[in-house]
Amino acid sequence: MNEQPISSEVAQVVPSELRVLHEAITATLQAGLPQFEHIEAYPKLIREGIKLPALLYAATGFAPGTKPGDGRLCVTVTFEALILLEAERAMAPLQAAILVGKLMQVLDEQYWDVDFVGHAKDVQAVPSEFVPELARCVGWSVLWRQDVYLGDTAWPWADEPPGSLVFAVGPDAERVEPEVLQ
């Protein structure tokens, strides 16, 4: 994907694999989890009046991934989702845990229907830490990792005409003339 320069004057996020991925994640979560009233990536603030139950998510870490050898960069991205539910609901902790299970079902082997992402892996969930601003909510944090391949593929070698590839193993290997296929 060709990148545009980033400027502080540009309000819009430039096209990139990460933008496409986040749009695909949001669309898939909205389609697969109708139990949530609000699903949002990178919320500016957890604000008063947000419809609950809510699922808020963001990429929270990047680490080097295994290079695919095709000119692209592989990064292992850690995502974190926060599930919020009203604390006054009957059995709120259990209902929140049920929503966590639903999210984990959607995340299982998820590729988000994009061709530059490995499947979701290392999915885990824990109750979120107490935050005074969220005292009216029960919260769970769900983390997962995915390999994301950034950039365009490149083949740095000249195209070669079809031919034969012969392997010999060991010092006593005999040379065998390949058959020419027509």
Put residue 24 in one of left, alpha, beta given phi > 0 → left and psi -120 to 50 → alpha: alpha
**In order along the chain (182 residues), what is the average pLDDT of each group of 10 residues?**
50 75 96 96 77 94 93 95 92 94 96 95 90 76 96 77 71 64 51
Residue 68 is encoded by which pair of tokens? 């695919």
The backbone torsions φ and ψ at residue 134, rounded to the nearest 5 degrees and listed phi first, read -110, 25
Residue 173 is encoded by which pair of tokens? 């290997």
- pTM, full prediction: 0.77
80-101 pLDDT tens trace: 999 999 989 999 999 999 999 9
At 69 the pLDDT is 87
- Closest to 120 measured CA to CA, from 100, 102, 104: 104
CATH topology of domain 17-150: STM4215-like (3.30.2000)
Parse the chain into domains and list their residue ranges: 17-150
141-153 pLDDT tens trace: 999 999 999 998 8
| Residue 138: strand pairing partners | 85
- Rounded to whole angstroms, what are the CA distances from 80 to 131, 163, 170, 175? 16, 49, 51, 57
At 155 the pLDDT is 72
61-79 pLDDT tens trace: 999 999 998 889 999 999 9
